[in-house]
Protein backbone atom coordinates (compact mmCIF):
# COMPACT_ATOMS: atom_id res chain seq x y z
CA UNK A 1 0.00 0.00 0.00
CA UNK A 2 1.37 3.48 -0.82
CA UNK A 3 2.44 5.46 2.21
CA UNK A 4 -0.23 7.91 3.37
CA UNK A 5 0.93 11.47 2.72
CA UNK A 6 1.47 13.62 5.77
CA UNK A 7 -0.37 16.73 4.58
CA UNK A 8 -0.94 19.83 6.67
CA UNK A 9 -2.48 23.25 6.19
CA UNK A 10 -1.00 26.33 7.83
CA UNK A 11 -2.62 29.75 7.97
CA UNK A 12 -1.44 33.09 9.32
CA UNK A 13 -2.01 36.83 9.21
CA UNK A 14 0.61 39.55 8.96
CA UNK A 15 1.06 43.24 8.25
CA UNK A 16 3.15 44.57 5.37
CA UNK A 17 5.91 46.91 6.52
CA UNK A 18 4.95 49.33 3.75
CA UNK A 19 2.03 49.29 1.34
CA UNK A 20 2.67 46.79 -1.45
CA UNK A 21 2.45 47.94 -5.08
CA UNK A 22 1.24 45.64 -7.86
CA UNK A 23 4.85 45.25 -8.87
CA UNK A 24 5.88 44.44 -5.32
CA UNK A 25 3.16 41.81 -5.09
CA UNK A 26 4.22 40.31 -8.44
CA UNK A 27 7.83 40.04 -7.27
CA UNK A 28 6.75 38.32 -4.09
CA UNK A 29 4.44 36.01 -5.99
CA UNK A 30 7.21 35.05 -8.39
CA UNK A 31 9.72 34.13 -5.66
CA UNK A 32 7.12 32.29 -3.62
CA UNK A 33 5.73 30.48 -6.64
CA UNK A 34 9.08 29.07 -7.73
CA UNK A 35 9.77 27.62 -4.30
CA UNK A 36 6.22 26.37 -3.79
CA UNK A 37 6.05 24.64 -7.15
CA UNK A 38 9.27 22.83 -6.49
CA UNK A 39 7.99 21.59 -3.14
CA UNK A 40 4.40 20.75 -4.04
CA UNK A 41 2.96 23.61 -2.00
CA UNK A 42 -0.41 25.08 -2.96
CA UNK A 43 -2.49 27.73 -1.29
CA UNK A 44 -3.57 31.31 -1.40
CA UNK A 45 -2.13 34.67 -0.48
CA UNK A 46 -4.55 37.49 0.05
CA UNK A 47 -3.55 41.12 0.31
CA UNK A 48 -5.68 44.07 1.29
CA UNK A 49 -5.09 47.34 3.07
CA UNK A 50 -1.52 46.45 4.03
CA UNK A 51 -2.59 43.13 5.57
CA UNK A 52 -1.64 39.67 4.36
CA UNK A 53 -3.59 36.49 4.98
CA UNK A 54 -2.16 33.24 3.71
CA UNK A 55 -2.95 29.55 3.62
CA UNK A 56 -0.28 27.06 2.58
CA UNK A 57 -0.81 23.34 2.23
CA UNK A 58 1.42 20.41 1.40
CA UNK A 59 3.74 17.86 2.96
CA UNK A 60 4.49 18.74 6.58
CA UNK A 61 8.25 19.18 6.10
CA UNK A 62 7.77 21.36 2.99
CA UNK A 63 5.15 23.53 4.68
CA UNK A 64 7.45 24.07 7.66
CA UNK A 65 10.27 25.10 5.28
CA UNK A 66 8.01 27.68 3.64
CA UNK A 67 6.81 28.87 7.04
CA UNK A 68 10.45 29.55 7.98
CA UNK A 69 11.00 31.54 4.74
CA UNK A 70 7.84 33.52 5.40
CA UNK A 71 8.85 34.35 8.97
CA UNK A 72 12.31 35.43 7.80
CA UNK A 73 10.91 37.88 5.22
CA UNK A 74 11.41 41.50 6.29
CA UNK A 75 8.61 42.81 4.05
CA UNK A 76 6.07 42.01 6.73
CA UNK A 77 5.81 41.84 10.52
CA UNK A 78 3.27 41.16 13.31
CA UNK A 79 3.04 37.63 11.95
CA UNK A 80 0.32 35.72 13.75
CA UNK A 81 -0.14 31.99 13.27
CA UNK A 82 -3.83 31.14 12.99
CA UNK A 83 -3.84 27.37 12.66
CA UNK A 84 -1.87 24.28 11.68
CA UNK A 85 -4.07 21.28 10.96
CA UNK A 86 -3.85 17.86 9.33
CA UNK A 87 -5.62 17.53 5.99
CA UNK A 88 -6.21 14.59 3.67
CA UNK A 89 -6.12 16.45 0.37
CA UNK A 90 -5.25 19.82 -1.17
CA UNK A 91 -8.04 22.41 -1.26
CA UNK A 92 -6.32 24.85 -3.63
CA UNK A 93 -5.48 23.84 -7.20
CA UNK A 94 -2.37 25.95 -7.43
CA UNK A 95 -0.55 28.80 -5.83
CA UNK A 96 -2.95 31.74 -5.93
CA UNK A 97 -2.68 35.45 -5.21
CA UNK A 98 -5.87 37.34 -4.58
CA UNK A 99 -6.49 41.01 -3.92
CA UNK A 100 -9.20 43.55 -4.53
CA UNK A 101 -8.60 44.99 -7.98
CA UNK A 102 -7.10 41.73 -9.21
CA UNK A 103 -9.82 41.37 -11.86
CA UNK A 104 -8.87 44.58 -13.61
CA UNK A 105 -5.22 43.56 -13.67
CA UNK A 106 -5.98 40.25 -15.37
CA UNK A 107 -8.12 42.06 -17.96
CA UNK A 108 -4.98 43.90 -19.05
CA UNK A 109 -2.70 40.90 -18.56
CA UNK A 110 -4.66 37.73 -19.36
CA UNK A 111 -1.54 35.61 -18.93
CA UNK A 112 -1.73 36.29 -15.19
CA UNK A 113 -5.30 35.07 -14.86
CA UNK A 114 -4.34 31.62 -13.63
CA UNK A 115 -2.50 32.95 -10.59
CA UNK A 116 -3.83 36.40 -9.93
CA UNK A 117 -7.41 37.47 -9.53
CA UNK A 118 -10.08 39.17 -7.52
CA UNK A 119 -12.37 37.54 -5.03
CA UNK A 120 -13.50 33.99 -5.76
CA UNK A 121 -14.55 30.85 -3.89
CA UNK A 122 -10.93 30.26 -2.88
CA UNK A 123 -10.73 33.63 -1.18
CA UNK A 124 -13.81 33.05 0.94
CA UNK A 125 -12.44 30.36 3.25
CA UNK A 126 -9.41 32.49 3.94
CA UNK A 127 -11.42 35.67 4.43
CA UNK A 128 -13.63 33.90 6.95
CA UNK A 129 -10.57 32.75 8.87
CA UNK A 130 -9.22 36.30 8.87
CA UNK A 131 -12.52 37.73 10.10
CA UNK A 132 -12.83 35.20 12.92
CA UNK A 133 -9.53 36.38 14.36
CA UNK A 134 -9.56 39.28 16.77
CA UNK A 135 -6.62 41.54 16.07
C1 LIG B 1 3.43 37.72 2.65
C2 LIG B 1 4.51 36.79 2.24
C3 LIG B 1 4.19 35.54 1.73
C4 LIG B 1 5.18 34.64 1.35
N5 LIG B 1 4.82 33.43 0.86
C6 LIG B 1 5.78 32.56 0.50
C7 LIG B 1 5.45 31.30 -0.02
O8 LIG B 1 4.29 30.92 -0.15
N9 LIG B 1 6.46 30.47 -0.38
C10 LIG B 1 7.77 30.83 -0.25
O11 LIG B 1 8.62 30.03 -0.59
N12 LIG B 1 8.11 32.02 0.23
C13 LIG B 1 7.15 32.89 0.61
N14 LIG B 1 7.52 34.10 1.10
C15 LIG B 1 8.94 34.40 1.28
C16 LIG B 1 9.55 35.04 0.08
O17 LIG B 1 8.87 34.85 -1.11
C18 LIG B 1 10.96 34.54 -0.12
O19 LIG B 1 11.45 33.90 1.00
C20 LIG B 1 11.83 35.71 -0.36
O21 LIG B 1 11.41 36.30 -1.57
C22 LIG B 1 13.29 35.29 -0.47
O23 LIG B 1 13.44 34.59 -1.64
P24 LIG B 1 14.85 34.14 -2.18
O25 LIG B 1 15.04 32.77 -1.67
O26 LIG B 1 14.67 34.18 -3.66
O27 LIG B 1 15.82 35.13 -1.64
C28 LIG B 1 6.54 35.01 1.48
C29 LIG B 1 6.86 36.27 1.97
C30 LIG B 1 5.87 37.16 2.36
C31 LIG B 1 6.23 38.53 2.87
Tally Cβ neighbours within 10 Å of residue 128: 10
CATH fold for the domain made of 7-132: Alpha-Beta Plaits (3.30.70)
Give residues (CB < 6 A) around ligand 1.
Answer: 28, 31-32, 35-36, 45, 52, 54, 56, 66, 69-70, 73, 75-76
Tell me the pLDDT tens digit for each residue of 29-64.
Answer: 889 989 999 999 999 898 888 999 999 999 999 999
Max distance between CA atoms of the chain, in angstroms, equals 50
- Residue 107 pLDDT > 90: no
Question: Which amino acid residue places its CA nearest to atom 23 of ligand 1?
Answer: 31
Which H/E stretch holds residue 71? helix 60-72
pTM: 0.86
More confident call, 3 vs 54 = 54
Mean predicted confidence (pLDDT) in 77-90: 95
Minimum CA distance residue for ligand 1 atom 16: 32
Distance from Cα 71 to the centre of ligand 1, integer Å: 9
HSE-CB for 6 with a 13 A CA cutoff? 5
Is there a contact between 98 and 118 (Cβ–Cβ < 8 Å)?
A: yes
Amino acid sequence: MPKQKDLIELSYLSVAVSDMSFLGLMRLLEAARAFNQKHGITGILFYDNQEFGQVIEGERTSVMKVWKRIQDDKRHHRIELLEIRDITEHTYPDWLLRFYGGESLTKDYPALAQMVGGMDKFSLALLNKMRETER
